[in-house]
Structure 1
Amino acid sequence: MLDIPSENFGIYTYIHLLDTCIQSKSLVEGKKIHEHILKNKTHITKTILLDKLTCMYLACGEIDLARSVFDQIPRRNVILWNSMIRGYAWKGPLDQAIGVYYEMLDLGIKPNKFTFPFVLKACSGLKALEIGREIHSYVKRSGLESDVYVCTALVDFYAKCGCLVEAKNLFDQMPQRDVVAWNAMIAGSSLHGFYEDTVQLVFNMQSSGTSPNTSTLVAVLPTIGQAKALSQGKNIHGYSVRKMVFEDVMVATALLDMYGKCGSLDYARRIFDTTSLKNEVTWSAMIGAYVLYDHMREGVETFDQMILDGTVSITPATLGTVLRACSKLADMSKGRQIHGYSIKRGSIVDIMMGNSLLAMYSKGGILDDAFRLFDEMDTKDTVSYSAMISGCVQNGNAKDALDTFRGMQASGINADTATMVGILPACAHLNALQHGRCNHAYLTVRGFASNTSICNALIDMYSKCGRIDFAREVFNRMPKRDIVSWNAIIAGYGIHGRGGEALLLFHNLLNDDPKPDYVTFICLLSACSHSGLIAEGKHWFHVMPQDFNIVPRMEHYICMVDLLGRGGLLDEAYNFILKMPFEPDVRVWGAMLSACRIHENIKMGEEVSKNVQRLGPEGTGNFVLLSNIYSAGGRWDDAANVRIVQKEQGFKKSPGCSWVEITGTVHAFVGGDRSHPLSMKIYEKLDELSVEMKKLGYQADIGFVLQDVEVEEKERSLLYHSEKLAVAFGILSLCPSKPIVVTKNLRICGDCHSAIKLISKITKRAISVRDASRFHHFSDGTCNCEDFW
């Protein structure tokens, strides 16, 4: 455009130039014209020029500049008011569109049929239902309710606000309907997930003689995909082919997405490959379909093709989807590449992208990187904290999970059900009953306590924190139970050594709606094992395939070996393994080795150990068991050789650790630990208890000391085992009426078991110890396991 040379430029020249700017959306040139008009004071007050300037700024998307000119116009006609309302309705802020509408009414300007669609669009965007209804009343008074243009806008407004009955009533009363009216009704029904109604509307539309267009297809296909109604989707696909609209990129993408959500990945890929023009949504739909149906490798490969294509921009949502695939594949290398890519393109500031990275790193066990990223994020939401909490719990960092949860509470971010389902296992792991009860109270206040998943997590938490009575109370109050609920409560009774109650619950389950699954029988057989119910365990193992059509898995055989082995039936357990229908794995032989340790059968233990070594031990446990067997038999050289092999193969023995919660704080101890501030008093209390125990006939069982040292040193070593330290600290810290609940990461040793029985009698305290296998409840010199564990 040429510069304007003269101050005496004619008004119609200005109008012509502004029209050109409007058509080409030339903001820079339009501003030059505006400046020239301002200099030429002769024309500055001309309404026609101000009208054109307003329209020019609106056409260029400069809503604020348009408003500043608009406000200077002394006499504004309805067309200009409509233009201003439309500008705000499309560009925002939406509330300004409604404000301009009411300002127009206040000035006595009567709206026309073109005013209402714009202002109703703003109302639907804001979900301003009452204002929309007020506008509807004005439409009725104006006699415009039958106008197809206005009525379509009202249908669209009510549908988007979820008032489908009102939308349908208006729609049915329309004297004539065009494709836009049908699409408004279809889109609203689809938006709110009414699949059957949406599909029926499309059929009715065709029956009425109105042909669906691309907007119709794009509106209806997502609902079909969500409903996984593949046959209906194929009908729509056939229609799009007949009408030659399937090559439209929006229709092709919607079809691809529909097939992907229905699990027809071959169809989806065929459409993807034949779509010549692919946009970012097309690529994302294909990647998302692969990830949704666990084809992670194909999802990552498609993303790589998208990068190589280089013709489309990549959104944080797409990157987040690929990161989920990397997390599932444990492909941290690829995940780190995507992280680097996101930093280069600035996507890391996006919270959704950040959350996806947090989930990938935490699930992959790379918690240092997860926490580093978490600390760097300027904005965090519930998903951010939930990703960190669940990652910590999954990787055994329960204390870090609790600390993160406290940080979330301090930040003022409210936890949702996903967060709480993540944090409750941390309370269970640490035996942090007080934290668990506080979280239960929070769930009740927030209205989450009746959620089935939450109740299941509470049952598990209370069971593992030693309060099976609280767990049963939650179970009894549940409005709806699923099989996970039954499994959790049966498992809870099992670890507390209450196999009889577990069996009774199982019988109740048989009369309930959910049918037992393979996990139910694992819980049931384990409960029988912990309670010495050998006959019952054998019975249910044998009827499981016959009466319930559940083929025993490796986990069921492990339970049976454990059941027979704990009961002293070592030969039967060994023969049971040999008759298994598939090759027993190292866990089966590990259960057998544990039984050999309990019953001090060195010969069989050596034989079993050969099978363990042949398969390759999964961890330190089997080395420790064999070493313990030799140590208990006084074969110190053999025990030492086992530990040498263990070290050569890179396995480290986990130190015994016990912890106890006192007034909301978890205190941890290891054997011989003197790092606690009250260590001196703890050791004094143990020495005092040792004297009292010996009066009752206690003799240290030095067979549980696995080093070849003097007897006196062995006795001192036993006295300061981690569980005894935790119990002594509990006695010092808790009032006599409160039970002491200790958690140990390994199996409680036989000497500690004998000693704590006597301590419960001496102190008249209720003491519970949860070891790696089960709960031991000590009271008045006895344990509920009856020395069978």
Structure 2
Amino acid sequence: MLVIKKRFLSHSGPLFLSLFINPNIFHAKIRHSFILTSSYSFLHMEKIQQQILWSKAHVHHPALLEKLSLIYLSSNKTEVAHLIFDEIPKPTIFLFNAMIRAYAWKGPFDRAIDLYYRLIHFGVTPNKYTFPFVLKACSTLLALEEGIEIHNHAKRMCLDCDLYISTSLIDMYMKCGRVDEARLVFLQVKNGDVVAWNAMVSGFSLHGLYNDAVGFVLEMQRRGTNPNSSTMVGILPVVGEAKALLQGGRSVHEGDVLVNTAILDMYAKCESMDYALTIFKEVSLKNDVTWSAMIGGYVQCEKMVEALVIFDQLMLNAATNMSSTSLACVLRACASLSNLKRGRKLHCYLIKSGFLSDITVSNSLLSMYAKIGSICDASSFFNEMESKDTVSYSAIMSGFIQNGSTEEALSIFRRMQLSCTKPDAAMMVVLLPACSYMSALRHGSCSHGYVIISGLSSNVSICNALIDMYAKCGKIDIASVVFDGMKDRDTITWNVMISAYGIHGFGTKALSLFDSMRAKGFKPDDITFISILSACSHSGLVAEGRGCFESMTKVYNIVPRMEHYICIVDLFGRGGLLSEAYDIAIRMPFEPDVRVWSALLAACRTHKNAKLGSKVAEMIERLGPESTGNFVLMSNIYSTAGRYGEAARVRIMQKEKGLKKSPGCSWVEIDGKVHGFIGGDSSHPQYLKICEKLSDLFGEMRKIGYRADTSFVMQDVEEEEKEDALVYHSEKLAIAFSLLSLKGDRPIFVTKNLRVCGDCHTAIKFITLIAKRAIIVRDASRFHHFEGGLCKCGDFW
């Protein structure tokens, strides 16, 4: 032994001596090897194992070998783990459970049972985690005798009623053919979950007990447990038998209606509507549940037309009562199809039949009007509703927000608070986007406070909405704090934060977050790539954006859709690679739409490429410009190219189509109140003071070098008039008002409905020098952070 130790010491040197003296170093080395997964680390694990055994450290520190054993188990080296396990004088219950579980799942299964009896022999007390593992081994081996004995052990420990142990016992007894014993175990379960029910259903199905299997499915639904795909798999073997009985001419009575309705409902829940329809047609006496299951199944599968066809058949069947569930589903179908005429007819039926007293039906009708966009009908019905709940308020608020009436949505929320209706998580997810759209930071901050007080701050959907709200209200730093403080995140969380960095012009941060997302094990989806490509576009990161686009298709196998091509054309166009952007547009695997050409047209305007701009303008003209923005760009491009006739023709075409350029509108929030400004409008109560402030500002700006860029005035007027028109752009009015209203050096935050023009962009940089204020402008494209005479966009937008 001395010779061996000397030889080992000569190879290990001081390291071995330190390990021999201080066993804590063993723990550190084991933890380090646990982190690593390469073959190199396992070589070191073997050396550490030898060192532990030679030094006899395991005699006084058995936890060392236990850690080694667990590491080998986690690496699927079960036999090596077992060898080390045998060296441990008295293994813990945790290690016993880990070893039993490994064999129960991957075999040899008899070793799991052997280890259980060894555990008993050592005097180690099994716990609630031990029994499910060893019972699984008994179930696989059909070891009924051992299973019964283990069941008795669990009874003596009063653990036989534990949900997981009971489910394992049911599975074991069913597979061993002891159906009655399985039923007795199930009856002792107080709060059985879907897994316990499925164990019974699968067991009955395994033994061909059709009536019992279907009966349990009906009972589980009656008790409020919804079947899942595993239920479907469990009952499928007996469905064939049932259909054979029906085809054999067996008379259909009420019991058969219930059975077939249950099967139909399961097919519908698994989105197998062809099979569901076959069962539906075979049932001659249909009840309201049968009809509801069929209509609901089609709606769930997004087959709205088919749902309405079944509903029409139901309307003709006078013998069957209508259910509120059917009506709610049909209203959802009308909303999805934007079928307002059908929805109004259904509204009349609901009034006559008295169904509007059902809050679920009323909410579905309200939601239908809101989703279709008939906000007048929605608002009128909402005011008529006798009783309202949080779903009612959420539906009408969503309707107002989707139709651009965010102030009305916030007003509804205040009405709800006065009615003492307590907002829930779903309500807050609706409210926060309203605050972000209006840039109503105070409302958003108050909502955040409510979220914290109500204990909803751990809700992932709410946190996602908070990140979006703060980012769109210009508070990207607070959005980042919310993101960093989240314990749980989903893909949407990462997408929202990447998008937030992108619209603020922090493309590098967006890319860093994209890398972190992948490092944390989250798989990017198509929305992720839209966000990151847009972020690269706003920051001029052309090479990085190109790499992301290539990885999307080659690494993640995501097929690009129109939105991705819009982003990549915009990326190259903004970056000045106009020819490459044009090549991408004409080589797309499908016909590019107006949005693709619009992105390229805007780039041609920015980079003053009149030749390509004229070609792109012609493409847009052929497709139909769709928006006033394209008409303006086209007119501008033609004018720049000296083609004044075409420019005039575009303006005439715009007038003929009845399309007017949307007036520039900006708004600011001052002390919780939102003030709106329209370019050239004089309706604000403090308009004269605002004009006076602007006059002072422009006087100071000209002294330090400001010159108006009149190319951004489209009207055919004198140069002096063009300069006057530029002074009264909406964002300048909003900034002047903010300077009058906000004292000290508080930053100014302005939201605009259109892209900020080049002259305003230049003017705001000068204003920050004169007023010594930070100014943030959120336009239709992105955020501009102005401070000290500069904008963080680097004049790249």
TM-score by length of 2: 0.73
Contact 1:450 1:478 (8 Å CA) reproduced: yes
Larger mean Cα displacement after TM superposition, 405-414 or 289-298: 405-414
Relative distance call for 1:167 and 1:499 in structure 2 (3 A) is closer
1:683 to 691, 711, 714: 691
Q: Is structure 2 residue 349 aligned with structure 1 residue 341?
A: yes
Measure how far apart 1:261 and its partner are: 0.8
What does residue range 654-673 of structure 1 map to in structure 2 within 5 Å?
654-673=662-681
1:441 maps to which residue? 449
Relative distance call for 1:635 and 1:768 in structure 2 (3 A) is farther
Relative distance call for 1:771 and 1:245 in structure 2 (3 A) is farther
Measure how far apart 1:634 and its partner are: 7.7
2:333 to 325, 328, 339: 325
2:720 maps to which residue? 712
Relative distance call for 1:713 and 1:192 in structure 2 (3 A) is farther
Work out the CA distance in 2 between the residues paired with 1:260 and 1:596. 52
Q: Is structure 2 residue 401 aligned with structure 1 residue 396?
A: no
2:388 maps to which residue? 380
Q: Is structure 2 residue 791 aligned with structure 1 residue 783?
A: yes
Relative distance call for 1:587 and 1:166 in structure 2 (3 A) is closer
Work out the CA distance in 2 between the residues paired with 1:184 and 1:631. 85
Contact 1:186 1:202 (8 Å CA) reproduced: no
1:290 to 271, 285, 298: 298
2:523 to 505, 515, 518: 515
1:233 maps to which residue? 235
Residue 334 of structure 2 aligns with an amino acid whose one-letter code is C
Work out the CA distance in 2 between the residues paired with 1:214 and 1:428. 50
Residue 741 of structure 2 aligns with an amino acid whose one-letter code is S
User: SS of 1:225's equivalent?
Assistant: coil
2:741 maps to which residue? 733
Contact 1:631 1:703 (8 Å CA) reproduced: no
Contact 1:229 1:262 (8 Å CA) reproduced: no
1:774 maps to which residue? 782
1:588 to 591, 596, 604: 596
Larger mean Cα displacement after TM superposition, 217-226 or 461-470: 217-226
Q: Is structure 2 residue 260 aligned with structure 1 residue 252?
A: yes
Relative distance call for 1:326 and 1:259 in structure 2 (3 A) is same
2:461 maps to which residue? 453
What does residue range 294-305 of structure 1 map to in structure 2 within 5 Å?
294-305=302-313
What does residue range 198-217 of structure 1 map to in structure 2 within 5 Å?
198-200=198-200, 203=203, 212=212, 215-217=215-217
Contact 1:224 1:258 (8 Å CA) reproduced: no
Deviations 1:114-144 (CA, angstroms, capped at 9, x unpaired): xxxxxxxxxxxxxxxxxxxxxxxxxxxxxxx
Residue 701 of structure 2 aligns with an amino acid whose one-letter code is M
Work out the CA distance in 2 between the residues paired with 1:459 and 1:164. 39
Contact 1:183 1:219 (8 Å CA) reproduced: no
Relative distance call for 1:648 and 1:729 in structure 2 (3 A) is same
Measure how far apart 1:550 and its partner are: 2.1
Deviations 1:358-387 (CA, angstroms, capped at 9, x unpaired): 111111111011001001111111000101
Q: Is structure 2 residue 478 aligned with structure 1 residue 470?
A: yes
2:195 maps to which residue? 195
Work out the CA distance in 1 between the residues paired with 2:275 and 2:584. 49
Deviations 1:322-360 (CA, angstroms, capped at 9, x unpaired): 000111111111111111111111222322111111111
Deviations 1:438-496 (CA, angstroms, capped at 9, x unpaired): 11111111111111111111111111111111111111111111111111111111111
2:637 to 629, 634, 655: 629
What does residue range 570-581 of structure 1 map to in structure 2 within 5 Å?
570-581=578-589
Work out the CA distance in 1 between the residues paired with 2:185 and 2:385. 40
Deviations 1:482-531 (CA, angstroms, capped at 9, x unpaired): 11111111111111111111111111112112111121121111111111
Contact 2:436 2:468 (8 Å CA) reproduced: yes
Measure how far apart 1:595 and its partner are: 0.8
2:614 maps to which residue? 606
Q: Is structure 2 residue 314 aligned with structure 1 residue 312?
A: no
Contact 1:186 1:219 (8 Å CA) reproduced: no
What does residue range 11-410 of structure 1 map to in structure 2 within 5 Å?
193-200=193-200, 203=203, 212=212, 215-220=215-220, 223=225, 225-227=227-229, 229-238=231-240, 248-410=256-418
Residue 724 of structure 2 aligns with an amino acid whose one-letter code is R
Count of residue pairs the alignment pairs up: 623
1:762 maps to which residue? 770
Residue 364 of structure 1 aligns with an amino acid whose one-letter code is I
Measure how far apart 1:637 and its partner are: 5.6
User: SS of 1:461's equivalent?
Assistant: helix
Contact 1:656 1:745 (8 Å CA) reproduced: yes
Larger mean Cα displacement after TM superposition, 734-743 or 767-776: 734-743
Work out the CA distance in 2 between the residues paired with 1:609 and 1:444. 51
Measure how far apart 1:713 and its partner are: 1.4
Measure how far apart 1:576 and its partner are: 2.8
Root-mean-square deviation over aligned CA pairs: 3.2
User: SS of 2:517's equivalent?
Assistant: helix
Residue 286 of structure 2 aligns with an amino acid whose one-letter code is K
Work out the CA distance in 2 between the residues paired with 1:578 and 1:209. 63
1:724 maps to which residue? 732
Measure how far apart 1:207 and its partner are: 7.7
Measure how far apart 1:167 and its partner are: 11
Measure how far apart 1:628 and its partner are: 3.4
Work out the CA distance in 2 between the residues paired with 1:336 and 1:633. 53
Deviations 1:607-642 (CA, angstroms, capped at 9, x unpaired): 111111212223222112213334667876644432
Measure how far apart 1:168 and its partner are: 10
Gaps of 5+ in 1: 1-161, 172-176
Relative distance call for 1:608 and 1:377 in structure 2 (3 A) is same
Relative distance call for 1:301 and 1:592 in structure 2 (3 A) is same
Relative distance call for 1:392 and 1:210 in structure 2 (3 A) is closer
User: SS of 2:555's equivalent?
Assistant: helix
Measure how far apart 1:187 and its partner are: 12
Contact 2:194 2:226 (8 Å CA) reproduced: no
Deviations 1:4-37 (CA, angstroms, capped at 9, x unpaired): xxxxxxxxxxxxxxxxxxxxxxxxxxxxxxxxxx
2:158 maps to which residue? none
Work out the CA distance in 2 between the residues paired with 1:685 and 1:550. 53
1:485 maps to which residue? 493
Larger mean Cα displacement after TM superposition, 472-481 or 200-209: 200-209
Measure how far apart 1:648 and its partner are: 1.8
Contact 1:522 1:556 (8 Å CA) reproduced: yes
Work out the CA distance in 1 between the residues paired with 2:233 and 2:567. 46
User: SS of 1:229's equivalent?
Assistant: helix
Work out the CA distance in 1 between the residues paired with 2:381 and 2:509. 47
Measure how far apart 1:427 and its partner are: 1.0
Work out the CA distance in 2 between the residues paired with 1:168 and 1:231. 17
Measure how far apart 1:540 and its partner are: 2.1
1:427 to 429, 435, 439: 435
User: SS of 2:786's equivalent?
Assistant: strand
1:10 maps to which residue? none
1:9 maps to which residue? none
Measure how far apart 1:317 and its partner are: 2.3
Work out the CA distance in 2 between the residues paired with 1:534 and 1:666. 38
2:551 maps to which residue? 543
Relative distance call for 1:198 and 1:746 in structure 2 (3 A) is same
Relative distance call for 1:694 and 1:340 in structure 2 (3 A) is same
Work out the CA distance in 2 between the residues paired with 1:673 and 1:188. 72
Relative distance call for 1:188 and 1:665 in structure 2 (3 A) is farther
Contact 1:320 1:353 (8 Å CA) reproduced: yes
